[in-house]
Amino acid sequence: MKRREYGVNLDDGVALSTEEEFRLLYVRCNPDESACLQGWFADNAQVSLMLGGQIGSGKTTILNEVSRSFPGTQIINICFDTDPIEQSEGCYTMFLLGRILQTCLNAGVDSGGCGIGLSDFPSIDADSWHSFADKIVSRPSTLKQAERLLEAGTVIGKNSKLVRNACGQLLDRLQGITSRKPIIIAEGIDKFRPGTSEYFSIQDTLSFLSQRKTLFEVNAIHLFKEQDFRPGIRKLFIGGIADDMLVQMFQKRLGSYAPIYQDAFSLLSKYSGGNARQALRLLNAYYFRRTQHKNDHAAAIALACHQVRKDLLGVAYGRFPTEIFTVVKHDKYIEGSLFQDPKVSEGANDALYHNWLFIQSEPNLATPTRWPCVINPLIDEAIKWKADAPRTPEEEAVRKWASDHDISPLGLNLPVDDDGKPAWDKFWEEIEASSFSDRNALNILGLIDEIGAGLFGIERQDRIIITYKDRKNLEAVRDFLVGEANTYSYFPCEEMILEGGEGRSPVTELLVWLADPDPNRIYSVELIGKWTDAQLRDLEHRRDIFDNLQMLWWIQLDNLKHYLRFWPQLRQFFRIYRLEDELLRGITMEEIQADIDLIKEMSEEDDPEGVHRLQNVLVYLKEAGGKS
Amino acid sequence: MNEMKRRAIVWDMIERKAFRPESPGKWLSLYAKTLHKLLGMEPRWDRLGQNDEVIFPFLALKCCYFIESASKYSIAFVSESSDCPRGQFHVDSCFLSKSSLQTFADNDKYPRHQIGELARDVEAVLDGMLFHPRCHAHLKCLGIPHVKFDEESGGLPPHEVRIGGGIENPYVFLFHLRYQFCLVSDQVRIAERQRLIDLFQRKIRGKEDVSAKDLFDF
């Protein structure tokens, strides 16, 4: 992603990866963990390692930072979340084989005599191992190619042990040539939620890899499931980031403008709970409120908290671990055994996986089972706990503003039942209701105001979910957004309708469509049909393929409420807006015509996309009688 | 031809080439859509008309203007938080000024045999017109509260803002604000200054107009 050398660099918390990003934006928040990882990469005697942290804790950034220090090292990167064509044992194993083969062949390893032959995979139609490896790791560009990969995946699924043995032999030969253990990075394991069918499907692959020098990128909950990897496997936990580090992060993100907004840093870091992504999203929302909506400090804080809580945490009420909340609030730690206790593990895992709780660090030696832990401040602050420390005048001002303006969670006190006990169900109903209330609905001008920073700039690519009640005229809304983006620069748009449901393969279609992604393009995706749970989970796993893409997703409101239950990870990459029913209110034909003229004059193309899009809007407005 | 006369010609050429737009709407639209780039900020959805306001959020300041023609306009700086006016200018070409009396006739041409001086002349003219107007006021004079930028990240002190006085062309006025409120880094200012010097020198040599697209580096 291109960044500004000077000035503001905001986003919704995507991992840093390029040299420019590290130079401009990186704060070494976890020096001990970085040093530990450096040691692991350098030491040939090391074996497998789990690098664990909660969603948004900065695992990928640390990993990118450390692996940059070993430029010449043979590293086999395998993205299990995004790259296998299907979530099945066969496809995971096939992808593993492909990546190992590629590395081994490049190093001059002889691939013969491993127990598998090219003729075993006729659907791949490869005339050499090089070609075979490339074909099985490349994202298919047609549905026919996808079918062939799936066919090969089925063959491998029936012989997965044999194929893993072949992988083992290849790795041994590579070690023989390089005199070093091959380093494997198994990325994206954090997206695999324990207990799901896809987690079950990848188990044998994980066990195989854990016998090698593999680094597993996992969620914090996986750290409590070492038996799924290798008993006694070494673990490295990425915990909460200290407030002063978060402040440094804010300073870097705002560049020269940082002092102007520095009064907000202490509260923004407090409400971040030590989580990097939550911090960056709060900063992004706060900055937007201050600079574009002219909100004062207290209002901007309250609204930023409201927006981020709505995007990251709001869920349809299900099984909420209220008893765990109460204990954590009181004890400020969570017992590791809770994540394995059959009675409460589901709730504990849920709380951790959804970032309702933040584990701050590993237990200390004196209390090795107690993990220091806090309730996510965006939830915690919504609750009127009796034992809370007195609030600062600044916090009180924020809460008062929120309360006066009926903004939750700040200012929303926990309802109590007739006995004076917390009414958790009601609390969550209120949280959920506030997430999707009509009051939050935006007209098209409000929406373009909110999403403009990503839509109009090349320095960031945001992912936006636009939800609506009535689909009518949605094309005109999309054309308006894309057309207006083209008054800022040339931003072509690709559209896709993904229909879910039994017998359909929407995620495969998506993979084919995004085979060659372009960060300067706007991708407009409409989700329709009755998506199955498995399809929704599959999309959840693939969230990293949307990284650095400018996306607009269109989802009907009731459907989105259902989908969000399946998307604790995916939702972290999106901001969600609700479009009011009167979709194009506020747009005039004169302004659209002026923008058409502007694009015509500025563009060097014969038929600029922006003109075409805005002409569609003009036609719609004419039919609607001048104004919508 | 002496230096002063040459520079008067260059000043006039620059104004005619870039700051008397045939389509004020497009000129102002591009102003709105490119401002963020120079200031190193996030883009915002914006259109500007001839009676509108430009917002500089980091100073909590808006600049409200009304352009009647390329020689008649008014402009006011207003505090965003209190809507309190911080300073106003009215320019009306019905009345004389010293500079209007000294405007050279259109048929005055830059002397070809002195073309080697053009670069320095363009630089000197742009300095006086946009980058460091001879007659200027600092933010403090307008009663705008002191705002600190991070100098370690390249930020400039607000003293570097010089609001020109006696600017008779509204487009020049708006354009010079764009540069003056760029406090994100001296490097950015240096690069923008050089870009404009090169642009105008090239266009004057090529006898071409300066499109809004080029002027705003769209």
Question: In this structure, what token pair is assigned to residue B140?
Answer: 């403090």
| CA gap A411, A314 in Å, rounded | 16
Question: In this structure, what token pair is assigned to residue B103?
Answer: 């405007």
CB contacts, 8 Å: A460 with chain B: 42
Q: How confident is the model at residue B171 (pLDDT cuts 50, 70, 90)?
A: very high
Nearest CA in chain A to B33: A488
Answer whether A53's CB lies under 8 Å from A238's CB.
yes
DSSP-assigned letter for residue B136: E
Q: Is the pLDDT of residue A28 over 60?
A: yes
- Residue B34: C-alpha distances to residues A153, B27, B189, B216 (Å): 50, 11, 15, 7
pTM attached to this predicted model:
0.90
Q: Are the beta carbons of B155 and A256 separated by less than 8 Å? A: yes
Indicate the average pLDDT of chain B.
92
* pLDDT tens-digit readout, A233-257: 999 999 999 999 999 999 999 999 9
CB contacts, 8 Å: B30 with chain A: 598, 602
Report the range of poorest mean pLDDT among A351-365, A374-388, B44-58.
Answer: A374-388
Q: Are the beta carbons of A601 and B26 separated by less than 8 Å? A: yes
Q: How confident is the model at residue A433 (pLDDT cuts 50, 70, 90)?
A: low
Indicate the burial class of A207 (C-beta count within 10 angstroms; 0-12, 13-18, 19 or more).
Answer: middle
A484 vs B87, higher pLDDT: A484
Per-residue pLDDT, A343: 82
Range from A162-171, A392-401, A515-524, B94-103 that averages highest in pLDDT? A162-171
* pLDDT tens-digit readout, A604-616: 888 899 999 999 9
Question: In this structure, what token pair is assigned to residue A504?
Answer: 């359909």
Answer whether A466's CB lies under 8 Å from A554's CB.
yes
Per-residue pLDDT, A415: 62
- Residue B185: C-alpha distances to residues A335, B156, B182 (Å): 50, 6, 7
Helix (H, G, I), strand (E, B) or coil at A367: coil
Per-residue pLDDT, A196: 87
| Sign of the Cα pseudo-torsion (A335, A340, A341, A342, in order) | positive
Shortest alpha-carbon distance between residue B34 and chain A (Å): 8
Answer whether A422's CB lies under 8 Å from A321's CB.
no
Q: Is the pLDDT of residue A202 over 50?
A: yes
Q: How confident is the model at residue A7 (pLDDT cuts 50, 70, 90)?
A: very high
Q: How confident is the model at residue A435 (pLDDT cuts 50, 70, 90)?
A: low
Contacts made by residues A361-369, CB under 8 angstroms, sequence distance 24+: A361/A237, A361/A239, A361/A240, A362/A237, A362/A239, A363/A333, A363/A336, A367/A333, A369/A335, A369/A336, A369/A337
Name, in order, each residue with C-beta under 8 angstroms of A438's C-beta and a sequence gap of 6 or more. A580
Number of domains comprising chain B = 1
Question: In this structure, what token pair is assigned to residue A352?
Answer: 């951790």
Helix (H, G, I), strand (E, B) or coil at B76: strand
What average pLDDT does range A153-179 have in this prediction?
Answer: 95
Rounded-to-10 torsion of CA B56, B59, B60, B63: -50
Q: Are the beta carbons of A6 and B188 separated by less than 8 Å? A: yes
Per-residue pLDDT, A430: 67
Q: Are the beta carbons of A487 and B36 separated by less than 8 Å? A: no
CB contacts, 8 Å: B150 with chain A: 251, 254-259
Helical H segments across chain B, by residue range? 3-18, 24-39, 98-101, 118-126, 170-180, 186-205, 212-215
| CA gap A488, B37 in Å, rounded | 11
Q: Is the pLDDT of residue A409 over 60?
A: no
Kindly state the percentage of chain A with pLDDT values over 90.
63
Q: Are the beta carbons of B36 and A457 separated by less than 8 Å? A: yes
Q: How confident is the model at residue A404 (pLDDT cuts 50, 70, 90)?
A: confident
Q: Where are the domains of chain A?
A: 438-628
Interface membership of B33 toward A (CB under 8 Å): yes
Nearest CA in chain B to A287: B42
Per-residue pLDDT, A628: 42
* pLDDT tens-digit readout, A67-123: 988 887 889 999 999 999 998 999 999 999 999 999 999 999 998 888 899 999 999
Q: How confident is the model at residue A316 (pLDDT cuts 50, 70, 90)?
A: very low
The CATH architecture to which A438-628 belongs is 3-Layer(aba) Sandwich (3.40)
Per-residue pLDDT, A271: 94
Answer whether A182's CB lies under 8 Å from A76's CB.
yes
Report the range of poorest mean pLDDT among A113-122, A435-444, B74-83, B86-95.
Answer: A435-444
Per-residue pLDDT, A237: 96
Q: How many helices (H) and strands (E) does chain A have?
A: 25, 13
- Closest residue by Cα to residue A294 from A284, A302, A286: A286
| CA gap A145, A124 in Å, rounded | 8
- Residue B172: C-alpha distances to residues B106, B169, B178 (Å): 19, 5, 10
Interface membership of B190 toward A (CB under 8 Å): no
Q: Could you tell me the residue range of the domain that residue B172 belongs to?
A: 3-215
Query: Which of B29, B154, B213 faces A256 most closely, judged by CB atoms?
Result: B154
The pair phi, psi for residue A547, each rounded to 5°, is -55, 135
Question: How many CA atoms within 13 Å lie on the side-chain side of B142?
Answer: 27
* pLDDT tens-digit readout, A445-495: 999 999 998 889 888 889 999 999 888 888 999 999 999 999 999 899 999
Helical H segments across A179-226, by residue range? 197-210
A-proximal residues of B, 64-93, CB under 8 Å: 80-81
Nearest CA in chain A to B188: A6
Q: How confident is the model at residue A1 (pLDDT cuts 50, 70, 90)?
A: confident
Choose the mutation target among B22, B23, B42, B188 for the interface with A, i.e. most A CBs under 10 Å: B42
The vertex-A30 CA angle with A24 and A35, nearest 5°, equals: 100
What average pLDDT does range A178-197 have in this prediction?
Answer: 92
Question: In this structure, what token pair is assigned to residue A465?
Answer: 């979910």
B214 vs B143, higher pLDDT: B214
Shortest alpha-carbon distance between residue B52 and chain A (Å): 15
A439 vs A311, higher pLDDT: A311
Per-residue pLDDT, A397: 82
Answer whether A243's CB lies under 8 Å from A377's CB.
no
